[in-house]
Structures are given as structure tokens and as C-alpha cells.
């Protein structure tokens, strides 16, 4: 019975987290909300260390570096594209 209670709790919390995730995308821009998803990596590493005495390996840090680096690059590129879109004049459309 205890396992079923835990399993039900995991299901309910999973459904709530998905609901909140969808609400966050409705409330804010995806470029602002999406990086919060990357918080799972350090939180999972911390839980693994504290709860299970599991030390992150070199590849954990390499993977985290790739994820963080690509996120920063994409965010920088999006800012540059937005700036370019606001400074470039609209293309002329000919009526003929």
C-alpha cells in the first residue's frame, strides 16, 4: 500500500509540474522561461550528492558546459537577430 501511495504522489506531482510548465509558457516568452528548465541539472546533481553520496563525474561537468554554452549562444544570437530586425527597414513591396 505504501508503494502505491508514493506512486500516486509521483503521478500527481508530475501532472502538476507539467501544468505549471505550460502556464509559465503562456505567461512569459519562451526565451525567458526555457532556461529555467536547465536548473534540473544542478538540482539533480545536488540531490544525487546529498541523498545518495553520488559524486558528479568529469562528463557531468562537460555536458553541463555544453548545455550552458549552447543556451548562452542561442540567447545572444536571438538578441542580435531582434536588434537587426528592429533596425532594418521594412522591405518595399511593389504593387505591380
Is the four-CA dihedral 68, 66, 23, 47 of positive or negative sign? negative
1-36 pLDDT tens trace: 999 999 999 999 999 999 999 999 899 888 778 778
Average pLDDT over residues 81-87: 84
Helices (H) and strands (E) in the chain, counts: 4, 0
Cell of 84: 537587426
Query: What secondary structure letter does DSSP report for 90?
Result: P
The confidence band for 91, taking pLDDT boundaries of 50, 70 and 90, is low
Amino acid at each position: 500500500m505504501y508503494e502505491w501511495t508514493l506512486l500516486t504522489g509521483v503521478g500527481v506531482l508530475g501532472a502538476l509540474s507539467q501544468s505549471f510548465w505550460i502556464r509559465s509558457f503562456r505567461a512569459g516568452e519562451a526565451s525567458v522561461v526555457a532556461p529555467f528548465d536547465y536548473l534540473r541539472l544542478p538540482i539533480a546533481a545536488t540531490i544525487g550528492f546529498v541523498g545518495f553520496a553520488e559524486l558528479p563525474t568529469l562528463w557531468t561537468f562537460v555536458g553541463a558546459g555544453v548545455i550552458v554554452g549552447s543556451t548562452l549562444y542561442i540567447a545572444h544570437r536571438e538578441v542580435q537577430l531582434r536588434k537587426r530586425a528592429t533596425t532594418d527597414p521594412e522591405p518595399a513591396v511593389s504593387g505591380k
